[in-house]
Amino acid sequence: MCTSDEWAEFNNTTKRKAEAIKVAELILSEKFWKKVRNVCAIMEPLVKVLKTIDQDNKPTLPIIYEAMDRAKMAIQKSVKSWKTIWEVIDNRWYNQLHRDLHAAAYFLNPILQYSGTCEFNLDEVRRGLKNVIAKLEPNLDAQVDSINEVFF
């Protein structure tokens, strides 16, 4: 773009020429493109999660938890500063998006249960499932029976 004749013609005024040179130097620098690759490596897994959960043809509640975990793992593999990125993702996930229902749906999803790749013993998954059982079943004895059946 910034090496074309149209660019030079459009930016031929004194005021625009200085800014056009700065923009061209930035766009043509290797440092810029390394940062662009880094942004793409971060955003691609997150966009996949959004595309996965933003559909109407099948329920997505049981897969959002797993989708977020996979996105974070993909970011960890491709970005050196993954811990900083994870902090941002986790902050948004835990403060705005994550609910006990997500953890319960993750635990109860048969596709994930039998895949052998899921971590069902995580405290937050167990806690989320227990909270959902407590909300759905007011009887304490029935809650205990349900929890014992699921976890033991």
Q: Is the pLDDT of residue 107 over 90?
A: no
For residues 104 and 109, what is the distance between their CA atoms, to the nearest angstrom? Answer: 8
**77 confidence band (pLDDT: 50, 70, 90):** very high
Q: What is the mean pLDDT of the segment spanning 30-51?
A: 93
pLDDT at 115: 72
pLDDT at 41: 93
CB-count exposure of residue 104 (10 Å: 0-12, 13-18, 19+): buried
pLDDT at 3: 76
Residue tagged 């493109």 (tokens) = 33
For residues 136 and 152, what is the distance between their CA atoms, to the nearest angstrom? Answer: 20
Return the amino acid letter for 106: Y
For residues 86 and 45, what is the distance between their CA atoms, to the nearest angstrom? Answer: 12
| H-assigned helices in 1-152 | 5-10, 14-28, 30-53, 61-78, 82-92, 100-108, 110-113, 123-136, 140-151
Q: What is the mean pLDDT of the segment spanning 64-71?
A: 85
**121 confidence band (pLDDT: 50, 70, 90):** low
Residue tagged 């029935």 (tokens) = 142
**110 confidence band (pLDDT: 50, 70, 90):** confident
- Token pair in block for residue 69: 């975990």
Q: Is the pLDDT of residue 103 over 70?
A: yes
pTM of the model: 0.66
Average of per-residue pLDDT values in the chain? 84
In order of 10, 107, 131, the CA distances from 101 in angstroms are 55, 10, 9
pLDDT at 57: 78
**102 confidence band (pLDDT: 50, 70, 90):** confident
